[in-house]
């Protein structure tokens, strides 16, 4: 008789979760074996973040159970998860550091927090322990660096600090959520070597990334999450076409009839010549035409957000030239773009779009205060006009809110997104850029946003929609571009932009 298979390091059984009546995870079963790297793929809104937070002990009111070494485990808090050997390195780096403490104190922070009597108050012992922890990643930070306030570190070094601290506990399961998003190529290569070493040491790794090349190089297995369901489970060698279809292809009944255009007929509203989206990547040329919706499909790291923020002046392009309606266009800040009629719905609504504590109406009116503050009123905002703008947005996009005076914190994530989209639809731009505009909104709201974008194009504006979701783009766009690693790999209209061809263009970059 052969010996029984060892229990998975961590397993999920029938794990489900809903927010406000909307199912986010549906009966998820997943085993992660010791000494294996399991890659988790999923488009935005697939449920990845919820699954990670369940494993991390953040979400506790879920259905089903989490098992550790085959036994049910109560992950009632992040501390409980860490004590059971589950360490998570979250995508938001700012959540993992403690400003005001030194680099060394941040490296030993978990031990400081848990140790009774605080044995590390002795600076020499703390520094020695910090050196030990950083050695796991060969960081090579001097004592002078270890004594600095952690906020003096760059973003990539903060990411490496969090990784080193997590590894110091020799976890049973290490969850890495987009771990290379802030790392250089050399730093990412160092991380890959470390992940391989952890696998060899028997540590289970759940690797969450949109970067297909990383997954192809590192993972023993990949699973795909879509709309809260596990839709694919593959062992090496991976079938990338199948994986991407499982991740990106949408149920036909949820997809509206897409627009059809014969080709490049409209006048050029905005053009780019010789513009590199990343350092070291080839310069790109692109014409964005008035009267049509141009959709850009790309996974994380493809360059979508760099394109959007560069056009909006938030992160000016390092080289090349731009023209708006045939004249020079060189925005150095968002205010320049707004004055020129170029508006952006940003990808990260919390960091770049919403003001906490402000009402829905005030958040919508923020970029257009001059039009609401005539000189005759001594520069004071006309509150009745501002309120009317808020009410119009509520009605146009179906925002679920008490009224226009509701603070943004009172709204659900999806309704916050509607407010951000509604803001930039409030006035008629020459160019409207929507970066992941459908994130966190239901199908009905997505259709409403799509119809409004197409109506704006019909009025003569140029509309640029950027998304990692193929169907979101196909549903709204006349023209489809595929962007991978800062390069345009497909530029097609109508029938030439079928789903299969788009997905093949993405998978060809692996």
Residues 76-112 have pLDDT tens digits of: 898 899 889 999 988 777 777 888 899 999 998 877 7
**Under 8 Å between Cβ of 340 and 329:** yes
pLDDT for 450: 84
| Confidence at 252, pLDDT banded by 50, 70, 90 | very low
Say whether pLDDT at 203 is over 80: yes
Higher pLDDT, 506 or 317: 317
The residue written with tokens 């104190």 in the block is 105
Other Cβ atoms within 10 Å of 23 Cβ, number:
14
Given pLDDT bands bounded at 50, 70 and 90, which one contains residue 429? Answer: confident
d(CA 338, CA 346): 14
pLDDT confidence tier of residue 184, bands split at 50, 70 and 90: low
Q: What is the reported pLDDT for 374?
A: 56
SS3 of 386, please? Answer: helix
The per-residue pLDDT for 144 is: 92
Please check the confidence at residue 250 and state whether its pLDDT lies above 60. no
What class, spelled out in words, does domain 253-507 have in CATH?
Answer: alpha beta
Where do the domains of the chain lie? 1-85+173-248, 100-168, 253-507
Helix intervals (H) in 267-313: 304-311
Residue 209 has what pLDDT?
83
**Local structure of 4: helix, strand or coil:** coil
Looking at residue 255, its pLDDT comes to 43
Q: How confident is the model at residue 1 (pLDDT cuts 50, 70, 90)?
A: very low
User: Residues 10, 171: contact at Cβ < 8 Å?
Assistant: no
Query: In DSSP terms, which residues pair with 300 in a beta bridge?
Result: none
pLDDT, tens only, 101-141: 999 999 988 777 665 545 545 677 888 889 988 887 778 89
Token pair of 234 as six digits: 């593959």
Calpha distance 134→9 (Å, rounded): 26
Q: How crowded is the C-beta side of 196, counted as CA atoms within 13 Å?
A: 11
Task: Evaluate if residue 67 carries a pLDDT over 60.
Answer: yes
Structure tokens at 152: 């003096």
Phi, psi of 220 (to 5 degrees): -85, -25
Look at 289 and 21; give whichever has higher pLDDT.
289
Report the alpha-carbon distance of residue 116 to residue 471 in Å, rounded: 54
**Residue 298 pLDDT greater than 60, yes or no:** yes
Residue 263: the pLDDT is 54
Q: Give the Å distances, CA to CA, from 171 to 38, 39, 165, 168, 177.
A: 15, 17, 11, 8, 15
Bridge-based pairing of strands 293-297 and 284-289 is unpaired
Report pLDDT for 259.
56
**Would the pLDDT of 413 be above 70?**
no
Per-residue pLDDT, averaged over 457-474, amounts to: 89
For residue 334 the two structure tokens come to: 């968002």
Residues in the chain: 510
Task: Give 482-495 pLDDT, tens digit per residue.
Answer: 998 889 999 999 77
Query: Would you identify the CATH topology of the domain 1-85+173-248?
Result: Rossmann fold (3.40.50)
Q: What is the pLDDT of residue 137?
A: 76
């Amino acid at each position: 008789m052969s010996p029984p298979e060892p229990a998975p390091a961590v397993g999920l059984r029938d794990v489900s979760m809903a927010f406000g009546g909307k199912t986010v995870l549906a009966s998820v079963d997943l085993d992660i074996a010791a000494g294996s790297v399991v890659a988790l793929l999923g488009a935005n809104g697939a449920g990845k973040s919820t699954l990670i937070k369940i494993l991390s002990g953040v979400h506790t009111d879920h259905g089903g159970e989490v098992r550790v070494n085959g036994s049910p485990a109560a992950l009632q808090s992040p501390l409980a998860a860490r004590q059971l050997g589950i360490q998570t390195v979250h995508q938001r780096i700012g959540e993992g550091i403690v400003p005001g403490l030194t680099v060394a104190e941040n490296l030993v922070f978990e031990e400081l927090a848990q140790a009774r009597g605080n044995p590390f108050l002795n600076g020499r012992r703390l520094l020695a322990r910090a050196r030990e922890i950083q050695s796991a990643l060969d960081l090579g930070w001097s004592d002078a660096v270890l004594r600095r306030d952690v906020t003096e570190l760059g973003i990539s070094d903060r990411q490496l600090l969090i990784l080193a601290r997590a590894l110091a506990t020799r976890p049973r399961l290490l969850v890495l959520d987009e771990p290379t998003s802030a790392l250089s190529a050399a730093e990412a290569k160092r991380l890959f070597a470390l992940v391989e070493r952890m696998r060899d040491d028997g540590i289970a790794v759940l690797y969450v990334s949109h970067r297909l090349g990383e997954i192809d190089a590192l993972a023993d297995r990949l699973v795909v999450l879509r709309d809260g369901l596990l839709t694919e489970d593959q062992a090496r060698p991976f079938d990338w076409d199948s994986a991407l279809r499982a991740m990106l292809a949408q149920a036909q009944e949820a997809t509206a009839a897409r627009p059809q255009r014969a080709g490049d007929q409209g006048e050029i509203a905005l053009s780019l010549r010789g513009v590199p989206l990343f350092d070291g990547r080839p310069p790109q040329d692109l014409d964005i035409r008035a009267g049509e919706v141009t959709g850009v499909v790309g996974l994380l790291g493809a360059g979508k957000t760099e394109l959007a923020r560069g056009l909006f002046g938030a992160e000016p392009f390092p080289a090349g030239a731009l023209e708006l309606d045939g004249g020079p266009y060189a925005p150095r800040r968002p205010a320049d773009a707004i004055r020129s009629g170029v508006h952006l719905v940003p990808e990260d609504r919390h960091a770049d779009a919403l003001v906490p504590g402000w009402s829905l109406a005030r958040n919508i009116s923020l970029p257009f205060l001059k039009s609401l503050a005539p000189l005759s009123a001594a520069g004071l905002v006309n509150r009745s006009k501002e309120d009317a703008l808020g009410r119009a947005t509520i009605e146009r996009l179906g925002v679920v809110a008490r009224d226009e005076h509701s603070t943004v914190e009172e709204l659900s994530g999806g309704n916050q997104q509607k407010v951000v989209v509604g803001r930039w639809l409030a006035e008629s731009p020459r160019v409207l850029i929507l970066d992941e505009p459908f994130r966190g909104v239901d199908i009905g709201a997505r259709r409403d946003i799509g119809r409004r974008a197409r109506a704006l194009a019909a009025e003569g504006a140029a509309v640029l929609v950027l998304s990692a979701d193929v169907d979101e783009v196909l549903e709204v766009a006349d023209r489809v571009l595929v962007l991978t690693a800062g390069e345009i790999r497909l530029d097609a209209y109508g029938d030439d932009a079928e789903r299969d061809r788009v997905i093949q263009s993405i998978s060809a970059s692996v």
